[in-house]
Amino acid sequence: MINERMNELIMSNRLIIGLDGGGTKTRVMVKERQDGEILFDQNFGMSNYNNIGVEGLKPVFCEIYEALFTCFQEQLQDAILVLGSAGVDRPKDVEIYLTALKESGFTCHLEVVNDAEIALVGGNGDRKDALMIAGTGSIVVGVDSKGKIVRSGGWGGLISDEGSGFQIGRHAIAAVMQEYDKVIAPTSFTEKLLAHFQLTSPEEFIDLLYLEDKLPVDKVASCTPIILEAWAKGDEAARTIVEAELEKLVRLVVGISRQMGSGKFRLSVAGSLLTKSTDYFGTLKEKLRVVLPHVEISPPLYDPVFGAIIIGARVQVNTNYE
């Protein structure tokens, strides 16, 4: 039955539009079917309303709509659009994005999910197994035995985002202040952090952290490579920070394992800390192997934007995606 419907789909030439809406850019991909050729693949401005505000969404989505309409004209009306964006955690978040998309001209079928969900589907090729993201922030998501998406972490830098660049950077700045107060021994990264943030004294971290209207997450996370380098060279303060955050990441995976009801699954990984730092990723694998020996840690099969395409294809043939 599904094959028959898929054949009907292929003949219908209905567009599938995938949007990966991040804090720095929004990647847009268009295909006519999951295994078809890529008809459109471009980057636009950021579309995370936690970064640009609700009022900042419409200009980005209008630009995307105009570019797509120029290419596809009336085909756009019957398309299926799937947007995955950071910060989509509650029904009100979904409504904010749906409203912005509609006000920008989109009249087609719209689906809005968390960006971790499209990364999960892209990472594993389907809505199954689990995914860990550790970059500026962090989250682990998985699919339980009933097909429900479950999550561990990812609740923002003040209360969560364990093992992330923000947490490593935050604790590193705290260590610099503790050194300044003679609480701990001097670190090897203090001067490098001051230079990185263009500060002349640790006291100036107060202005850096507290005078902005919102938590400077990206700015704090930007110093993570300095701390990872110090950790690799044996700095005690860096070791304490990094090892603690790695342990917290492991606990997130243990939590998702409990929610999934399984200790055997594929865990695809994404985010700069896991894809660009071989030491961080390697140590994480060693720690996970001790507590969850049957978890297979692997790089993602596809990009998150292709995960949005896969979700759109499932919606298109009315398979039971939910």
**Span 8-28, pLDDT tens digits:** 444 457 899 999 997 679 999
Query: Which pLDDT belongs to residue 319?
Result: 46
290 within a domain of the structure (yes/no): yes
Whether residue 48 is found in the same domain as residue 119: yes
Instruction: Indicate whether 75 and 184 sit together in one domain.
Output: no
Residue 244 in domain: yes
Q: What is the pLDDT of residues 308-318, one digit of tens each?
A: 999 999 987 76
In a domain, 159, yes or no: no
Instruction: Please check whether residues 217 and 106 belong to one and the same domain.
Output: no
What's the rounded mean pLDDT across residues 228-250? 98
Question: pTM for the whole thing?
Answer: 0.84
Round the average pLDDT of the chain to a whole number and report it: 92
The tens digit of pLDDT for each residue in 97-147 reads 999 999 999 999 999 999 999 999 999 999 999 999 999 999 999 999 999
Q: Check whether 36 has a pLDDT greater than 90.
A: no
Per-residue model confidence (pLDDT) at position 322: 54
Q: 116 with 213, same domain?
A: no
Q: Do 58 and 72 lie in a common domain?
A: yes
Q: Is residue 137 part of a domain?
A: no
In this predicted structure, the answer to whether residue 33 has a pLDDT above a threshold of 90 is no
Total domains present in the chain? 2
Establish if 29 belongs to a structural domain: yes
Q: Is there a single domain that holds both residue 174 and residue 286?
A: yes
Do 250 and 289 reside in the same domain of the chain?
yes
- Domain coverage including residue 281: 165-298
Answer yes or no: do 294 and 170 share one domain. Answer: yes
For residue 320, pLDDT over 60 is answered with no
State the CATH number of the domain containing residue 9. 3.30.420.40
283 occurs within a structural domain = yes
Residues 178-202, mean pLDDT to the nearest whole number: 98
Give yes or no: residues 274 and 307 share one domain.
no
Residue 148 domain-assigned (yes or no): no
Q: Are 205 and 85 in the same domain?
A: no
Count of beta carbons in the 10 Å neighbourhood of residue 80: 21
Q: Is residue 142 part of a domain?
A: no
Q: Is the pLDDT of residue 2 over 50?
A: no
Same domain, 220 and 268: yes
Given a cut of 60, whether residue 221 has pLDDT beyond it is yes
* 121 and 184 within one domain: no
CA-wise closest residue to 193 among 234, 229, 247, 159: 229
Q: What is the mean pLDDT of residues 301-309?
A: 96
